[in-house]
Amino acid sequence: MTIINKSNVGATPFQKLLGHNPDVMKAWSSLGDVIEGDGHLTSTLKEQVRRTLAQGNGCEYCKAKGKPDSSIFDEKTSVAAGFAEVFVKQRGEVATSIIEVLKQSFTEEEISELVAFICFTTAQQHFGAIMKLEPES
DSSP readout, 19-33?
Answer: TTSHHHHHHHHHHHH
Share of the chain above pLDDT 70, in %: 100
Q: Which residues contact 42 (CB under 8 A, 6 or more apart)?
A: none
Q: What pLDDT, on a 0 to 100 scale, did the predictor assign at position 136?
A: 84
Q: What pLDDT, on a 0 to 100 scale, did the predictor assign at position 91?
A: 87
Q: How far apart, in whole angstroms, are the C-alpha atoms of residue 43 and residue 87?
A: 20
pLDDT digits (tens, 9 = 90+) for 5-43: 999 999 999 999 999 999 999 999 999 999 999 999 999
- Average pLDDT of every residue of the chain: 96
Q: How far apart, in whole angstroms, are the C-alpha atoms of residue 13 and residue 103?
A: 37
Q: Which residues contact 63 (CB under 8 A, 6 or more apart)?
A: 54, 55
At residue 124 the predicted structure's pLDDT band, cuts being 50, 70 and 90, is very high
pLDDT at 137 over 90: no
pLDDT digits (tens, 9 = 90+) for 56-97: 999 999 999 999 999 999 999 999 999 999 999 998 889 999
Amino acid at 123: A
For 52, phi then psi, to 5°, come to: -65, -50
Q: Work out the number of other CB atoms within 10 angstroms of the CB of residue 12.
A: 14
Q: Which residues contact 98 (CB under 8 A, 6 or more apart)?
A: 83, 86
For 132, phi then psi, to 5°, come to: 60, 40
Q: Which residues contact 28 (CB under 8 A, 6 or more apart)?
A: 18
Flag whether the pTM goes above 0.85: yes
